[in-house]
Amino acid sequence: MAAFSTLSSLYRFLLSTFQPSLPPPEASKMGTVNVQNFDYHQFRHYVLDEIPEQFATEDLMLAAGRIIHGDATLWRLFGLDAHQLAQEGVKIRCRTLVECMMDGMARTVAQDINKIVQESASASTTATLAVYDLFCGSGNFSFHLSEQINCTLLASEMDPNVYSNLNDNFKQLGVFDQTQDRTLQIENCSYADLLKTRKAASGPEVYIVDPPFGSAFSDAGMDFTKTDPSLPQILEDIRPSNRGVPVFVVLKGTDNVVQPAFDDIWIGGELLAKISVKPELPFGKNAVFYVYRYGSL
């Protein structure tokens, strides 16, 4: 990451010195809960249902790294570890802790997507890829996609609070400055509204799909007809067969999906790859990225 400006650091130091720091409304509640003994389900319930709008402390980020990823040191966003994120004032809401994509995974998956798409589309076009991140959340995957792929990237986050944090974090970390030679744009809108802004396609398009899991996530497996919005609805809104160019849909799911419903969703698409990292959680809890292609090449 680029070094942060001395003036910005001095400003934050003076601000913290002469202005008292107030604890979040539920700081005392957070302090009484020992998450170190939580398993995955307990931690997920705690951050999603009990303190979803609180900003994650350094300790909570480290706990998320250990409980979700098997190693506290794996908790990294935008090239920074938990301590550096806290020191730089990066704000991550607790409800994004569980499904937030860490640097290691984000970088690897972005590189794999680029390789798969380039190999599949190279015979028909050399145009710059257009990437749409439809549910960008923390923005870390968008950040790494823009770093690893020569593309224009348009992302959407519907929640105004999450979007505000994301936008502030990007400005704080100089992300927009680093990507000024590319097109990286993030909008506070629904994925459907983002899709309405698309121009006529001139080259391959990549759609990153990571909808809120909600009731779709259970021990029986991931049921993508129950995400909010559902995967069939998202594909209908994208309408890949009508774009006139190769369209790649990258879905973030798990290693256990409900069949035959899952395969039925992808009628007309070709499964190119399943991208995964070393499993750290019990079966059904590990992230898998499904890469599908639509359109003739």
Whether residue 71 is found in the same domain as residue 109: no
Per the domain annotation, does 167 fall within a domain? yes
Per the domain annotation, does 124 fall within a domain? yes
Per the domain annotation, does 254 fall within a domain? yes
Tell me how far apart the alpha carbons of residues 177 and 205 are, in angstroms, rounded to a whole number: 24
Secondary structure class of 129 (helix, strand, coil): strand
Whether residue 196 is found in the same domain as residue 212: yes
Whether residue 155 is found in the same domain as residue 270: yes
Whether residue 42 is found in the same domain as residue 185: no
CATH at residue 262: 3.40.50.150
- The secondary structure of 236-270 as a DSSP string is HHH-GGGSSS-EEEEEEEES-B-TTHHHHHTTT-E
Per the domain annotation, does 268 fall within a domain? yes
Per the domain annotation, does 249 fall within a domain? yes
Pairing relationship of beta strands 270-276 and 287-294 according to DSSP bridges: antiparallel
Per the domain annotation, does 165 fall within a domain? yes
- DSSP strands (E only) in the chain: 76-77, 80-81, 129-133, 151-156, 183-187, 205-209, 247-254, 270-276, 287-294
Residues across the chain: 297
Angle between helices 103-121 and 140-148 (to 10 degrees): 50
Whether residue 134 is found in the same domain as residue 239: yes
**Structural domain span for residue 236:** 103-294
Closest CA to 188 of 168, 214, 207, 212: 168
- From first to last of the 297 residues of the chain, give the pLDDT tens digit: 443 344 334 333 333 443 343 334 333 344 458 898 999 889 999 999 999 999 999 999 999 999 988 899 999 999 999 999 999 999 999 988 888 899 999 999 999 999 999 888 765 556 778 999 999 999 999 999 998 998 899 999 999 999 999 999 998 888 876 555 557 899 999 999 999 999 888 889 999 999 988 889 888 899 999 999 999 999 999 988 778 888 999 999 999 999 888 999 999 999 999 998 776 777 888 889 999 999 754
pLDDT of residue 240: 82
Whether residue 136 is found in the same domain as residue 153: yes
Tell me how far apart the alpha carbons of residues 139 and 101 are, in angstroms, rounded to a whole number: 9
Whether residue 20 is found in the same domain as residue 116: no
Per the domain annotation, does 109 fall within a domain? yes
pLDDT of residue 282: 78
Choosing from 74, 96, 118, the residue where a domain stops is 96
Structure tokens at 257: 């999906």
Whether residue 142 is found in the same domain as residue 178: yes
Burial 160-185 (b: 16+ CB within 10 A, else e): eebbebbbebbebbbbeebbeeeebe
Whether residue 61 is found in the same domain as residue 160: no
pLDDT of residue 24: 41
Whether residue 73 is found in the same domain as residue 191: no
Structure tokens at 16: 């913290």
Whether residue 83 is found in the same domain as residue 113: no
**Based on C-alpha coordinates, what's the Rg of the chain?**
20
pLDDT of residue 31: 46
Choosing from 41, 74, 96, the residue where a domain stops is 96
pLDDT of residue 154: 95
Per the domain annotation, does 1 fall within a domain? no
Whether residue 202 is found in the same domain as residue 286: yes
Closest CA to 278 of 67, 111, 69, 76: 69
Choosing from 96, 123, 152, the residue where a domain stops is 96
Tell me how far apart the alpha carbons of residues 245 and 93 are, in angstroms, rounded to a whole number: 37
Domain count, the chain: 2
Tell me how far apart the alpha carbons of residues 263 and 250 are, in angstroms, rounded to a whole number: 14
